[in-house]
Amino acid sequence: MKLVNRITQYTIFVLALTWTGTVRAQVNLAGEWAGRYHEDQLDRVPGDVLGDHSGLPINDAARRYAETWDVSRVSVLEHQCQPYNVAHIYRGPLQFRIWEDKDPGTQEVIAYQIFIGTYMQYRTIWMDGRAHPPEFAPHTHMGFSTGKWNGDILTVTTTHIKKEFYRRSGTPSSDLTTMIEHYMRHGNLLSHVIIVTDPAYLTEPLIESQEFVLMERGNQNWLYNCEYAMEVPKSKNDVPHFLPGQNPFLKDFANKYGLPFEAVWGGAETTYPEYQSKVEAMMSR
């Protein structure tokens, strides 16, 4: 009887080892990451020239909004320290830190926490299967995020995002925005793909990608000091803007690079490689 019990115990032990060995370990995303700006540098670092909405699948409502945009709007006290929302912040200069929150009893990852140095923003990506809040729940700059692993790719869905911009040239985003992210690590490189849908301002999903590199030595420059101050004398009730048809800067980008105005005014067609042939045809007229 003792021999049978020992054989049974040994069999269970071997099966347990076999089952444990088949559990797939997830890629470790923890660390401090910094941006690389080899692609879309003009858009991501200095910011676009006014009048550039090329490559964005925007509709007429977005164009009308952009026509009234005055960049000095950010000098208004209420906007001086306003963070970029989560659908925009990864496109600018930034560094961010990722760490795991684990259940102390099971050591399963409950959530990924992200601290973004630009505007000192915190994100939580819930991994415990919880549902998103109802539509009327409060919106924030970083939204509400849930994630799941698809092989070695972390896929994140974010809703409840405050309205902001897709570009600093005034292309607007709405609070109906939903964002899908894919995080893919290859050694010390992290590829980040975002897919944004916005029924208010986009006719097709906006797809963008960026690369980040692991900061092996770390960085202590994480604080983003921003203070509100009246930088230019003006009435406290003044809101910089242009009335329809009165914005003198709309053709700045097209004139600077010798492009047809139609080509830089955005739309789904401008996001595809085939549109280059159409631009060449317009320029040859």
**Cα-based distances in Å from 88 to 122, 163, 209, 247, 272:** 15, 10, 12, 24, 21
pLDDT (tens digit per residue) in 234-257: 887 888 999 988 999 999 999 998
d(CA 7, CA 29): 42
Least confident residue range of 91-95, 135-139, 159-163, 174-178? 91-95
Can you give the pLDDT at residue 9?
A: 54
Domain assignment of residue 39, yes or no:
yes
Task: Print the domain residue range for 163.
Answer: 31-48+81-214
HSE of 55 in the Cβ direction (CA atoms, 13 Å)?
Answer: 9
Domain assignment of residue 268, yes or no:
no
Average pLDDT over residues 253-264: 91
The CATH number linked to 152 is: 2.40.128
Domain assignment of residue 262, yes or no:
no
Q: How far apart are the first and last CA of the chain?
A: 95
Can you give the pLDDT at residue 47?
A: 77
Average pLDDT over residues 221-226: 82
- Whether the pLDDT of residue 216 is over 70: the answer is yes
**Token representation of residue 249:** 């800067």
Domain assignment of residue 271, yes or no:
no
**Amino acid letter for position 45:** V
Say if CB 118 and CB 224 are below 8 A apart.
yes
Can you give the pLDDT at residue 128?
A: 97
- Whether the pLDDT of residue 150 is over 90: the answer is yes
d(CA 109, CA 131): 17
CA proximity to 163, closest of 143, 187, 186: 143
d(CA 88, CA 168): 9
Domain assignment of residue 26, yes or no:
no
- Structural element, H or E, at residue 186: strand 178-186
Domain assignment of residue 92, yes or no:
yes
Say if CB 155 and CB 147 are below 8 A apart.
yes
**Domain count across the chain:** 1
pLDDT (tens digit per residue) in 5-51: 555 555 555 444 444 444 457 899 999 999 988 888 888 888 777 88
Can you give the pLDDT at residue 20?
A: 44
CA proximity to 226, closest of 89, 120, 142, 141: 120
pLDDT (tens digit per residue) in 185-204: 999 999 999 999 999 999 99
C-alpha radius of gyration, the chain, whole number: 24
Share of the chain above pLDDT 70, in %: 92
Domain assignment of residue 9, yes or no:
no
Can you give the pLDDT at residue 19?
A: 47
Domain assignment of residue 149, yes or no:
yes
**Cα-based distances in Å from 232 to 51, 57, 74, 91, 120:** 24, 35, 11, 28, 26
**Cα-based distances in Å from 270 to 7, 48, 59, 164, 279:** 69, 16, 12, 22, 9
CA proximity to 112, closest of 73, 142, 91: 142
Greater confidence, 94 or 127? 127
